[in-house]
């Protein structure tokens, strides 16, 4: 079980916009895939149509060549070229040529389907999950995941905060099993 949640997507931060399908082929019920917010086009870069993209995820493969992103306006963009630049990325999209095309994308939010990584906990799958201890005692429901330098925190409906490093098992979108030290929940 990973010690932290790979932040990938989502309103309010990284995937905090609800439950979605685990793979890019659609939701669990066969519906269209739920898109996660993965970044934003900051501004044009140069005169050829390149743009600066700021990712809201720690998954740089979101701007790898061939990746398909959707703007908040519903436009589909395919990455043609991408390179890291000052904690952001310079990205060229197919069909975007010239400063005018790039300027029209300024400020656009970018979304993509959830990544398929069975060994990762995804924020969008934790929200709404029931939290239990190993004996099955229900501790609450995950309302959000709060970024914290030491360990991201599960924020439960009763206000309790549980570091993700205490997660020992999960059934995505349903339950999260945590093994917390005695007294931790008394501090909340």
Q: What tens digit of pLDDT does each residue of 124-154 get?
A: 788 899 999 999 999 999 999 888 888 889 9
pLDDT over 70 at 178, yes or no = yes
Domain stops at, among 79, 112, 145: 112
In the DSSP assignment, the letter for residue 102 is: H
180, 166 in Cβ contact below 8 A?
Answer: yes
Q: Is residue 100 part of a domain?
A: yes
CA angle 115, 161, 147 (to 5 degrees): 45
pLDDT on residue 188 = 54
Same-domain pairing of 41 and 100:
yes
Count structural domains, the chain: 2
Domain stops at, among 112, 147, 169: 112
Q: Is residue 117 part of a domain?
A: no
Give dist(CA 18, CA 55) in Å, integer.
19
Q: In what order do the strands lie in the sheet with 167-171?
A: 161-163, 153-156, 138-146, 130-132, 175-178, 167-171
Q: Is residue 26 part of a domain?
A: no
Share of the chain above pLDDT 90, in %: 52
pLDDT over 90 at 184, yes or no = no
Length of the chain: 188
In the DSSP assignment, the letter for residue 15 is: S
- CA 129 to centroid of chain Cα atoms: 16
Q: Is residue 22 part of a domain?
A: no
Share of the chain above pLDDT 70, in %: 80
Strand partners, 112: 36
Question: Dihedral angle at the C-alpha atoms of 174, 171, 138, 151, nearest 10 degrees?
Answer: -110
Give SS3 for 85. strand
Its domain, for residue 103, covers: 36-112
At 182, is the pLDDT very low, low, confident or very high (cuts 50, 70, 90)?
confident
């Amino acid at each position: 079980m990973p010690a932290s949640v790979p932040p990938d997507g989502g309103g309010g931060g990284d995937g905090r916009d609800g439950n979605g399908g685990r793979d890019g082929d659609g939701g669990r019920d066969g519906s269209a895939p739920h898109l996660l917010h993965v970044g934003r086009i900051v501004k044009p870069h140069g005169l050829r149509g390149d743009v600066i993209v700021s990712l809201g995820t720690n998954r740089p493969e979101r701007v790898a060549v061939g990746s398909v992103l959707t703007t908040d306006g519903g436009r589909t963009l395919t990455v043609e070229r991408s390179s890291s630049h000052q904690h952001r990325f310079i990205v060229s999209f197919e069909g975007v040529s010239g400063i005018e095309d790039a300027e029209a994308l300024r400020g656009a939010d970018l979304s993509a389907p959830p990544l398929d990584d069975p060994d990762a906990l995804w924020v969008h799958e934790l929200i709404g999950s029931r939290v239990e201890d190993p004996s099955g005692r229900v501790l609450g429901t995950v309302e959000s995941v709060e970024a914290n330098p030491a360990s991201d925190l599960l924020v439960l409906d009763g206000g309790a905060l549980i570091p993700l490093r205490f997660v020992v098992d999960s059934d995505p979108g349903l339950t999260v099993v945590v093994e917390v030290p005695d007294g931790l929940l008394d501090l909340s």
